[in-house]
Structure 1
Amino acid sequence: MVTIIVLIVLAPLLVINLFFVAEVAAGLPRSRARHWPAAQGRTTIIIPAHDEEQVIGRTLAGLKAAAGAGFDILVVADNCNDRTADVARVAGVNVVERHDTSRRGKGFALAHARDYLSADPPARVVVLDADCRSDARSLAALAGACQAIDAPAQAINLLEPAPAAGPLVQVSSFAFLMKNLVRQRGLQRLAGSVHLTGTGMCLPWALFADADLATASIVEDVRLGLELARKGRHPRLIGEAVVWSPHADQSQTLGQRSRWEGGYLALARATAPGLLRDGMMRVSPRTLLAGLDLTVPPLALLVLLTGTAFLLTVMLAASGLSSWLPAALLGGVGVAAGLVLLLAWWREGRAFLSPAALVRLPLYPLWKIPMYLKLARSGAPKSWNRTERPGQTGGEGAPPTA
């Protein structure tokens, strides 16, 4: 009887681990390169920026060199206390300023950009964070794919490799790659849809114009992608387009992860049950898989939960209160998860995570225990806070996604 109760309690965790293994395994093969047709009409690149004086000039210089004749750039200087708007104007791009301290957040900045563009709307918009970089091939592929599929197109969003950084920064960058490349690619193959990651996403104007943007949600991009998917406009991962974000200093990495993971967990808790219910009631595998993907917590938390449950089941079995079956099942899925993670590192992650840092990977969840305890006490951060990059001080802005 105790064994049956333990299995019932563990069933959700086992399903989550099995889905994680399946999703990563599906995302291991690389996609064949596809040639997207040239986009017709104008594409506007929107850059929400909050106190980004130190990086916006460099971002715009690279972006102007990469963007073709069919692109224009709009910077939304949102509640800035520095010279972000002036630097952007000097760079020769369109700039709008927004001042509303009671309504702060990237979503409000995007809604302001939409209002500004509505008098002469472009064919589509690309949203980029103020510290990101891309290239001409990626921008052309993103705009062309968005036109071809008439749905949101999401670039692969990665952190710049930091081989000289500390192990915690490297592991965090690897976790970012697992979420935004390997698992996104797997979700695309399993469900035909991916999550929007907030930067490097391209939307047809008609979808952007009708979207519920004016929100302070930390993970407004994920929420927007789910809403569009419910309407049948499933975001697609475009393997030919890549957007790079800078990594945080080691001292700032925990705060960087806390903001996004807290918001993501809050969204998953509010959204995943409904998706799972709808998927089963409507017999919709795509909806069911989207819900399962949301139930998978960040990698470190998944390891902590699974490891703790495994130790408890071993203790129960050793005391004779339960059979060894629950421990064997948890151990089996844990080994499978470790194997697919190792394969993903070998195939995609060696530039992001050195062998020396890989050895320390099991310690990564322990480093994040204080963060999860704080999230459990205080909930998800609600402000639009900017992560300090190496060599920078002060200011706030859009949080990176991971």
Structure 2
Amino acid sequence: MIATSAAVALLVLATGACLILVIPTLAGLLPRRSRAANAPAHTFAILIPAHNEEASLPATLRSLGKLTYPPARVRVWVVADNCTDSTPSVAWAFGAACVARFDRTRRGKGHAVAFGLDRVLRDAADVVLVLDADCELNPTALQALDAVFAAGADAAQCAVRSRNADAGPTGYVAAVGAALDDSVAAGRDRLGGSVPLRGTGMAFRRSVLEFIPWTAFGLAEDAEYAAKLHAAGVRVRHCADAVVGCDSPGNWRDLGKQRRRWRAAGVLASKPLGLALIAAAATLGFACGFAWWPASLLVLTVAVYAHAIASVGVTARRLGLLARSPLVVARLAWVASAGRLKRTPKSWDRTPRLSESERRAA
């Protein structure tokens, strides 16, 4: 009797975790309304917080040089935050405005963003786009964002896609997770909801930043600011046609370091923990004689992840990485539930990235 009650309780929780993914994923598959191409209506400031990014910043700035939005309506700002390398020189070489910040006590990306916004908002930009220094934008990203803001949005989150899905099981798991996040965000937007901010590719109307100043200085500064927007009734729109490409950590050490920071956003946002809950509920449910309930959960969950896997792309190598991914997912679930990694980083330590040559070889 106790086992049956426990199974029912777990199945109820697992059903909720499953439907949180299934419903928006299905909604996201509905055809989107096409927006007519109009003349550019907004000016953009692209703000790039950078901490010792001399190696990755050139690719980011080259991608911004390929934007098809009118150059006169775009200004790129780099915040060289406590840098000890040539990040400022790289920014200037590409024609970006660069402001340097040195503060050994108030460290972190949130402080760098706040410092940059203080400068950026002195200009006349209509929209500020925050982009990480190791990310690239697709050429038509600003046209897509311009259309979203012209339709009345106050804040928007770009789609985020991994460039290194072939970089081992950890890179593959992160790429599938990013694809699932995009699918869920597209559905939440279609259903009229607000989507989470993802740290990079975050765009805000100037008036929003003036009304709700950036005071998000924690390790999960995106989730912190998103909570402030939610409290003020500001909806964050999903912009599927503005795509940010970035590298996911290619090994467990770097991925674990990243996810320890993400734990600050709360365990409820953890997909691996949700998978662990669904697996445990299904196992106990079958053991207690349930059939259709746990089976339905497994089928729906597999279908949602199969859609994400297909969107990343299927190759012989990726099928091999998929077979090795359960161990990575299990370890990530352990991290999300605190596990053995109890120490949370207190400073902004950049996650090691693949070089361009390593990415091509992956």
TM-align CA RMSD: 2.8
Q: How many residues align?
A: 352
Distance 1:362 1:259 in 2: 19
Residue 300 of structure 2 is matched in structure 1 by 336
Residue 120 of structure 1 is matched in structure 2 by 123
* Post-superposition offset of 1:373: 6.4
Residue among 91, 95, 98 paired with 2:94: 91
Residue 134 of structure 1 is matched in structure 2 by 137
Unaligned runs of 5+ in 2: 357-362
Distance 2:233 2:239 in 1: 18
CA contact (8 A) 2:79 2:116 kept: yes
Letter in 1 for 2:74: F
* Post-superposition offset of 1:230: 3.2
Residue 272 of structure 2 is matched in structure 1 by 300
* Post-superposition offset of 1:363: 3.8
1:378 aligns with 2:334: no
Secondary structure of the residue aligned to 2:66 is helix
CA contact (8 A) 1:46 1:74 kept: yes
| TM-score, structure 2 normalization | 0.86
Residue 170 of structure 1 is matched in structure 2 by 172
Distance 1:9 1:257 in 2: 29
Secondary structure of the residue aligned to 1:54 is coil
1:47-196 to 2 correspondences below 5 Å: 47-66=48-67, 68-163=71-166, 165-179=167-181, 181-196=182-197
Residue 22 of structure 2 is matched in structure 1 by 21
* Post-superposition offset of 1:372: 4.4
Q: Deviations over 1:52-84 (max 9, x none)?
A: 111212322321332522001111111112121
Residue 395 of structure 1 is matched in structure 2 by none
Distance 1:177 1:100, change over 3 A: same
| TM-score, structure 1 normalization | 0.78
* Post-superposition offset of 1:113: 1.5
Q: Deviations over 1:235-267 (max 9, x none)?
A: 11112211111233325542354235412226x
Letter in 1 for 2:116: A
Letter in 1 for 2:313: R
Distance 1:118 1:212 in 2: 11
Residue 349 of structure 1 is matched in structure 2 by 312
Residue 269 of structure 1 is matched in structure 2 by none
CA contact (8 A) 1:146 1:202 kept: no
Distance 1:20 1:34 in 2: 27
* Post-superposition offset of 1:17: 2.0
Distance 1:121 1:253, change over 3 A: same
1:381-396 to 2 correspondences below 5 Å: 381-391=345-355
Residue 365 of structure 1 is matched in structure 2 by 329
Distance 1:343 1:62, change over 3 A: closer
Letter in 1 for 2:114: A
Distance 1:338 1:118, change over 3 A: closer
Distance 1:258 1:117, change over 3 A: closer
Residue 310 of structure 1 is matched in structure 2 by 282
CA contact (8 A) 2:170 2:250 kept: no
Distance 2:227 2:35 in 1: 25
Letter in 2 for 1:104: R
* Post-superposition offset of 1:381: 3.5
CA contact (8 A) 2:165 2:174 kept: no
Secondary structure of the residue aligned to 1:126 is strand
* Post-superposition offset of 1:374: 5.2
Secondary structure of the residue aligned to 1:69 is helix
1:193-204 to 2 correspondences below 5 Å: 193-204=194-205
Letter in 1 for 2:158: A
Secondary structure of the residue aligned to 2:136 is coil
Residue 360 of structure 2 is matched in structure 1 by none
Distance 1:72 1:169, change over 3 A: same
